[in-house]
Structure 1
């Protein structure tokens, strides 16, 4: 059976929604850019002391901008480029390849009905999110 990306994506969305999983993708480059822009503007306005003040303010703003932006994992999965979705599906397929399913609904039922299999799928999803996307995972509301 060829890897059915849509079925596996639906499975991952269902499992992560069921677990109430959220993630934040770290945007350290964006934070660094804000800090640098603050230092630059501070330097233009206030000279050398302005660089220090602008850097501090820009750094604080950059840290604030990049923290706590948790999104539901199903949303993150759906927003992944096709190449990354395929890579994620390939990882999950190694877990579910022995199952015989005809559509996403059946695949979801098979995985959700087997705690061991469900845990393996969740672990692989978390591994992908943390390693490939440098995401921080959060559970619950």
Structure 2
């Protein structure tokens, strides 16, 4: 019996969200550089008190710049992947689960909710896919 790819994507997203896996959508280094630059400017202008003020202002600026750039993998999988990327991910997950011993893919979705071995295999596959294919950095 063929498995519904959309349902499998939902199950993969739920497993990823339950594991609290998030990715950095944008560079975190940019925020660190802004924070450091403002801290340096404050130190040069006002001395030691300027370091404290610059660090605070730089940290707040970096926070504002990076808010919304760390997103759960489940959200990215369901909303940002193209149809082709979703099909690739489903194929990767099916191959990984075949190694674990699931022969009937129709049983995969219920097993995802209960079987820790299958969840681990799916999480490994998803993190590998996100890192290698989507070129996103995982932070959790």
Does TM-score exceed 0.5, indicating one fold?
A: yes
SS at match of 1:76: helix
In structure 2, what is the equivalent of residue 38 of structure 1? none
Residue in 2 that maps onto 1:22:
22
How many corresponding residue pairs?
Answer: 104
1:1-141 equivalences under 5 Å are 1-26=1-26, 69-79=69-79, 80-97=81-98, 98-100=102-104, 102=106, 107-139=108-140
1:81-111 CA distance string (max 9 Å, x none): 1111111111011133534364xxx634312
C-alpha displacement of 1:21: 1.2
State how far apart, in whole Å, the 1-side matches of 2:84 and 2:137 are: 21
- For residues 122 and 74 of structure 1, do their structure 2 counterparts lie closer, same or farther at Cα, with a shift above 3 Å needed? same
CA contact (8 A) 1:23 1:71 kept: yes
Shift of the alpha carbon at 1:118?
A: 1.2
Aligned-CA RMSD value: 2.9
Inter-partner Cα distance in structure 1 for 2:133 and 2:105: 28
Q: Provide structure 2 residue ranges, at least 5 long, that are not aligned to the other structure.
A: 31-60
Distance 1:75 1:68, change over 3 A: closer
Give unmatched runs, 5+ long, in structure 1: 32-60
Tell me the SS of whatever aligns to 1:125: helix
TM-score, normalised by the number of residues in structure 2: 0.60
Q: TM-score, normalised by structure 1?
A: 0.60
Is the 1:3–1:90 Cα contact (8 Å) retained in structure 2?
Answer: no
